[in-house]
Structure 1
Amino acid sequence: MKYGMNMLLWTSDVTEEYFPILEDLKAWGYDGVELPVFEMNADKFARVGKKLASLGLGCTAVTVCSDAANPISPDAGIRAAGLNHITQAIDMCAAAGATHLVGPLHSALGAFSGAGPTADEWNRARDVLAKAADHAKASNVTLVVEYLNRFECYFLTSAADAARFCREVNHPHLKTMYDTFHANIEEKNLADAMRSAWDQVVHVHISENDRSTPGDGHVDWDTTFKTLKELKYDGWLMVEAFGLALPALAAATKIWRRMYPSEELLAKNALAFMKRRMAE
């Protein structure tokens, strides 16, 4: 098992300024981090990757698609922009040494049509992500589509749908993930949801119902960790927690109040929580 922390707790742009936090995460016992990929600067990501390697930390990465780069848009130019955004993000992963690029790569975050997903949108997403997966394969990166809850997207909103999408694309470099925050909202039975998708799951986000310290809220952690062990999961458990430090992210994630005493305490407690639950 590998234990990681998403750097979005501190920043959406990891630069040298945040290297002391990387050092702290290593000292606290983390195995790696998840890097936000929003600025496409290969030199910067190479520097970050070099720092991570010097610390012995692994990394994955996360990005999102916007309205102007939406893989399911009926506009071919917008879909092309979506493909371009994802391929650029893959290049940043390669520069940093990130093994996975995760996130709602299938559609624009926070964009709604007023209806459910259509067959045309499904086919558009399949086409864009199959092409992106070819680029990912050449860079030895795995794309990991993340389903979101119904308040953040409408295209993929359950483990079963995300797994079905990946099975249909049928590409070794396109898989899905399980996120405890979204599952807490959308799934009727967590264990069944996990089992239904597990042949396609390669990544896990550990996130509390209020996006703060895992273990301090009401996510069904008993079922979550019992099923992780039943399914013999041995990939990344990546903590995803958000705060108020990033106004744009706070607006997107609807975080309006501080949910924890400090980022350091959250990170330390989250790691201890995950290790304790996996050992039980």
Structure 2
Amino acid sequence: MIGIHALVWAGGWSEHEARRAIRSSAEAGYDLIEIAAIDPSLFDAPMTARLLSEHGLSVSASLGLDDETDVSSEDTSIVEAGRRRLESAVDLVRDLGGSYLGGVLFGKLGRYTAPVTPRGRANSVESIALLADRAASYGITLGLEFCNRYETNVLNTTAQTLEFIDEVGRSNVVAHLDTYHMNIEERSFRDAVLAASAAGKLGYVHVGESHRGQLGTGSVPWDEFFSALDEVGYDGTVTFESFSSEVVHPTLSSSLAIWRNLWADGMDLAVGAREFLRKRYSAAR
């Protein structure tokens, strides 16, 4: 299944924005749209589900926590707030008929000034275990998207993520690989894919270019990455993700440092990315 992130189309999720994002995703040839459920309470689930059905699209959701909801904090009140936010996100995926929630579920999405503490990491592991139990009751898989060092201090590599998942000890928790972050933190794209696959935890993939723009115009080693996916027989979701100041989300623009206008036409970007995947990745043809 080939997906596209909703922020290619819209920074918010009013009915007008949702209709445009879902319709445009279908028109550009995608099977799935990934919504940015930063605050699940802002989503009209019945409206969104209706539009998804109307255009024949599947859905996934992702989010990152903030300072007030950071489950890797040592502050129990912040951890509890984060757990409530994550529970709401799982419930939203359920209400939309989806089966996947990913992203930085394990901590704040943003720069830290110190390493995660042992207590904070333990809080994060426990939070994901509790969330996984809730998600399992709805048939939902959780994907832990490890990010670069400037966006999290908990999980930066595939190896760290697999160790974390092992500690969580829930079968519905998987590794969420993102080429943008891998291009910063991994020594080998192939080794990362093979390690996740060997552990049975290669669950979801984001394809993003090194500069967050159009695929194939940066420094990501696409041949190595797609060859590795083919080598392990990956047949899960691959979602195109790109950010530009043209489409602004008030939270993500700051936490992801989206300061430049890398593209202005979402449809042109989406069609180009879909064609790139069709030519370079066998499962996307």
TM-score range relative to shorter protein: over 0.9
Q: Which residue of 2 aligns with 1:175?
A: 174
Distance in 1 (CA, whole Å) between partners of 2:78 and 2:41 is 22
Q: Which residue of 1 aligns with 2:276?
A: 273
Q: Deviations over 1:199-240 (max 9, x none)?
A: 212100000001111112110001010001001111111011
State whether residues 26 and 57 of structure 1, in contact with CA within 8 Å, keep that contact through their aligned partners in structure 2: yes
Q: Which residue of 2 aligns with 1:110?
A: 110
Deviation (angstroms), 1:110: 1.2
Identity of aligned residues (%): 28
Worse overlay, 18-27 or 220-229 = 18-27
Which amino acid in structure 1 is aligned with residue 96 of structure 2? A
Q: Which residue of 1 aligns with 2:207?
A: 206
Task: Give matches, 1:99-248, under 5 Å.
Answer: 99-114=99-114, 116-198=115-197, 199-244=200-245, 245-246=247-248, 248=250
Closer, same or farther in 2 for the Cα pair 1:231/1:137, shift >3 Å? same
State whether residues 13 and 37 of structure 1, in contact with CA within 8 Å, keep that contact through their aligned partners in structure 2: no
Distance in 2 (CA, whole Å) between partners of 1:23 and 1:9 is 12
1:52 equivalent to 2:55? Answer no
Distance in 1 (CA, whole Å) between partners of 2:10 and 2:103 is 17
Q: Which residue of 2 aligns with 1:21?
A: 21
Q: Which residue of 2 aligns with 1:8?
A: 7
| Total equivalences in the alignment | 278
Q: Which residue of 2 aligns with 1:40?
A: 40
How does the TM-score come out when normalised to structure 2? 0.92
Gaps of at least 5 residues in structure 1 are none
Deviation (angstroms), 1:28: 2.2
Gaps of at least 5 residues in structure 2 are none
How does the TM-score come out when normalised to structure 1? 0.94
Distance in 1 (CA, whole Å) between partners of 2:185 and 2:66 is 23
Distance in 2 (CA, whole Å) between partners of 1:168 and 1:240 is 29
Deviation (angstroms), 1:62: 0.8
Q: Which residue of 2 aligns with 1:87?
A: 87
Closer, same or farther in 2 for the Cα pair 1:128/1:257, shift >3 Å? same
Give structure 1 regions of 4+ aligned residues with deviation exceeding 6 angstroms. Answer: none
Equivalent position SS for 2:205: strand
Distance in 1 (CA, whole Å) between partners of 2:278 and 2:271 is 11
State whether residues 167 and 200 of structure 1, in contact with CA within 8 Å, keep that contact through their aligned partners in structure 2: no
Distance in 2 (CA, whole Å) between partners of 1:42 and 1:110 is 21
Which amino acid in structure 2 is aligned with residue 186 of structure 1? E
Distance in 2 (CA, whole Å) between partners of 1:154 and 1:32 is 30
Deviation (angstroms), 1:89: 0.7
Q: Deviations over 1:65-106 (max 9, x none)?
A: 111111111111111111111001111111112211111111
Distance in 2 (CA, whole Å) between partners of 1:43 and 1:145 is 22
Deviation (angstroms), 1:111: 4.4
State whether residues 38 and 65 of structure 2, in contact with CA within 8 Å, keep that contact through their aligned partners in structure 1: no
State whether residues 10 and 21 of structure 2, in contact with CA within 8 Å, keep that contact through their aligned partners in structure 1: no
Q: Deviations over 1:139-180 (max 9, x none)?
A: 221111110100111110101101111122121222221000
Distance in 2 (CA, whole Å) between partners of 1:43 and 1:12 is 13
Deviation (angstroms), 1:261: 4.6
Equivalent position SS for 1:251: helix
1:250 equivalent to 2:250? Answer no
Worse overlay, 155-164 or 18-27 = 18-27
Distance in 2 (CA, whole Å) between partners of 1:35 and 1:146 is 15
Distance in 2 (CA, whole Å) between partners of 1:173 and 1:117 is 24
Distance in 2 (CA, whole Å) between partners of 1:95 and 1:42 is 14
State whether residues 11 and 246 of structure 1, in contact with CA within 8 Å, keep that contact through their aligned partners in structure 2: yes
Across the aligned residues of Structure 1 and Structure 2, the Cα RMSD in angstroms comes to 1.7
Closer, same or farther in 2 for the Cα pair 1:229/1:154, shift >3 Å? same
State whether residues 163 and 176 of structure 1, in contact with CA within 8 Å, keep that contact through their aligned partners in structure 2: yes
